[in-house]
Structure 1
């Protein structure tokens, strides 16, 4: 975004904060300048995104927040030679299968002109093979996504094939012509496009949050001295006709829930971010009060995640997406980069990542954030 546009946006946000919270733009500017010098290097965008104008937060509390400039230092906890595991789901699933970590069942992988092997899947290496597979009613329903992508880009949940119109019927109610489907794949890295058996949501949650499977983002610190340690987590709650639970700043309508680490109970649910954040008390589709909701078999989910974390010794800062399936926890992927998990946990818990646990962990690995 051009500098002038950013400045105009910051000024608009400053005015909104002044109107709603009585904090003058000058005081906001003074605080932002002071926080830019904090270990987390909070900039104007971070200040408003994390709602650091909140008078309930002390200055010490605010200095524990991590801005986008510092996130790469957290990424340095992970050995760069292992980064490929967080960028390529086919490679990730291959490793997890051999390690005995439950993952989604992949039926087929499409990559024109090449073959990417994965146990239990077939290779679709030409448009003709892809179209034939899509026109076979026996292959439905399926969930599809790129091997390398994020934020739900290129992901679809297809219910059936309409032979009369030669199109794919998506769960959200739209249709895509078979010959046009490849244009939606978002396989920029050309690592393959996956077709998977849809995960069945935990039946104990259907009445509370609907039939779309939900997942947890489990942020784990793990090294040879201590671990695995669950540093933060949140629950991604799907709503409406969304085929996946990706939050994406609340733009999808999906929700994010903070979780009590001891019990797995929901403590806070939000939609949106920054000045547009709202707290939600009841699920918009089912009406269930979130105060009554908890992750089923929470301790089992934690142990599943910890066991998985131990298989990746050179990755010390792991962000796992764990689906709550009807057959128990299932690993969707491990994310190795701060963006996506770091910001939402800080916003949800009103607590910065640079707490005593994280500071001690960084110091142990000689990573400075001062």
Structure 2
């Protein structure tokens, strides 16, 4: 094994998006017969339609490909457009639960208290806040003692706030004699250096040590032991009855500790919402996209595989969303263990760009757009009613009623 420097023990973030370079323009022209002027024209058209697509995302989604009509290109959204869509479905004034949902330390405890199966938090690093009877670690000595003596491995470590797996690590165990942590990617890290890094970057906002989910043997046989969560996006098309809109399987790179698609070698699979069958899988983006039928390491078929506990996965996501009726759309990362599904994280503003990468179809397609419009109209009407009620209440207060 290799030894990791303290400053790089936790997962860094994805690289920043860059403007397209000349070689990329030339490759598209050569491989797809689409000249640079046409490419720029298509990008400008998308920007005028306020799709929120960055120039780099135009290439990520392969929107230069002749198979797309202008209408089909306009159905795609970028990261900015995805955020705008989610704001329509969950307006800020209706987001009463968002602080709770964004705090991973509280969110999992909240769901567990409601009887919804979720991850187990063994300890929380935080220098000032208390968490009832949960174990709180406030200095290097307490972190060291926990990891040497009290932790039940494997652990998944991650910030209490944040996304994209930034700052996370899978810890398989500890060598007590040398005080070295063994990470899921084969690296070893000095326990003292790790504790200092966690406190330096996460002491105030919080850092979690959770029991790592050992995934179902069926999925492990296909994709290896690293947990690949099932991304279930749910919507409240009917206000009191959330339902599944689409499902993806996030398959980790063979040498990764988490399943975020921005990590090199990670894969995204599109899953049939009725049967749980994998319909297609891809690795990479844009000109580097590769369609994947079989896993590159295990050799097992990905396309055609069926996700275990399928009805239970959908039911769990729908039950969890029902706890937050004012939220129009949510993304759930569900781990599938041998005993069934459990919620790893909930996201109140899911990246619909993942759906587009996995399927090659814009999220504003003819099937989904009417659903979004129904939710947005209902939410706008509720915002209007709330404003009228507040105005009426202020009038009563001025009259002394």
In 2, the alpha carbon distance for the partners of 1:64 and 1:213 equals 31
Q: Which residue of 2 aligns with 1:208?
A: 222
The yes-or-no answer on 1:326 pairing with 2:338 is yes
Q: Structure 1 105/322 Cα, relative in aligned 2: closer, same or farther at 3 Å?
A: same
In 1, the alpha carbon distance for the partners of 2:77 and 2:49 equals 9
The yes-or-no answer on 1:16 pairing with 2:27 is yes
- The answer to whether the 8 A contact 1:131-1:178 is kept is yes
In 2, the alpha carbon distance for the partners of 1:43 and 1:158 equals 36
Paired residue for 2:113, among 84, 98, 101?
A: 98
The yes-or-no answer on 1:191 pairing with 2:205 is yes
Secondary structure at the aligned position of 1:180 is classed as helix
Paired residue for 1:285, among 297, 301, 310?
A: 297
Q: TM-score, normalised by structure 2?
A: 0.82
Per-residue CA distance 1:6-55 (angstroms, 9 max, x = gap): 55x25442222101101111111222222222252444233212111122
Q: Once the 2 structures are TM-superposed, how far is the Cα of residue 224 of structure 1 from its aligned partner?
A: 4.9
Q: Once the 2 structures are TM-superposed, how far is the Cα of residue 227 of structure 1 from its aligned partner?
A: 3.8
Paired residue for 1:266, among 261, 270, 278?
A: 278
The two structures, once aligned, show a CA RMSD in angstroms of 2.3
- The answer to whether the 8 A contact 1:213-1:325 is kept is no
Q: Structure 1 290/224 Cα, relative in aligned 2: closer, same or farther at 3 Å?
A: closer
Q: Once the 2 structures are TM-superposed, how far is the Cα of residue 323 of structure 1 from its aligned partner?
A: 0.7
Q: Once the 2 structures are TM-superposed, how far is the Cα of residue 128 of structure 1 from its aligned partner?
A: 1.6
Paired residue for 1:347, among 357, 375, 378?
A: 357
Q: Once the 2 structures are TM-superposed, how far is the Cα of residue 321 of structure 1 from its aligned partner?
A: 0.6
Q: Once the 2 structures are TM-superposed, how far is the Cα of residue 291 of structure 1 from its aligned partner?
A: 2.5
Q: Once the 2 structures are TM-superposed, how far is the Cα of residue 232 of structure 1 from its aligned partner?
A: 2.2
**Which protein shows a greater Rg?**
2
Q: Which residue of 1 aligns with 2:180?
A: 167
Deviates more, 1:284-293 or 1:188-197: 188-197
Deviates more, 1:307-316 or 1:107-116: 107-116
Q: Structure 1 39/361 Cα, relative in aligned 2: closer, same or farther at 3 Å?
A: farther
Q: Which residue of 1 aligns with 2:246?
A: 232
- The answer to whether the 8 A contact 1:215-1:321 is kept is yes
In 1, the alpha carbon distance for the partners of 2:379 and 2:21 equals 36
The yes-or-no answer on 1:30 pairing with 2:41 is yes
Q: Once the 2 structures are TM-superposed, how far is the Cα of residue 138 of structure 1 from its aligned partner?
A: 5.7
Gaps of 5+ in 1: none
Gaps of 5+ in 2: 1-16, 382-401
Q: Which residue of 1 aligns with 2:268?
A: 256
- The answer to whether the 8 A contact 2:279-2:304 is kept is no
In 1, the alpha carbon distance for the partners of 2:355 and 2:206 equals 30
- The answer to whether the 8 A contact 2:156-2:168 is kept is yes
Q: Which residue of 2 aligns with 1:304?
A: 316
The yes-or-no answer on 1:110 pairing with 2:125 is yes
Q: Structure 1 362/60 Cα, relative in aligned 2: closer, same or farther at 3 Å?
A: farther
Q: Once the 2 structures are TM-superposed, how far is the Cα of residue 151 of structure 1 from its aligned partner?
A: 1.6
The yes-or-no answer on 1:63 pairing with 2:74 is yes
In 1, the alpha carbon distance for the partners of 2:269 and 2:326 equals 29
Q: Which residue of 1 aligns with 2:59?
A: 48
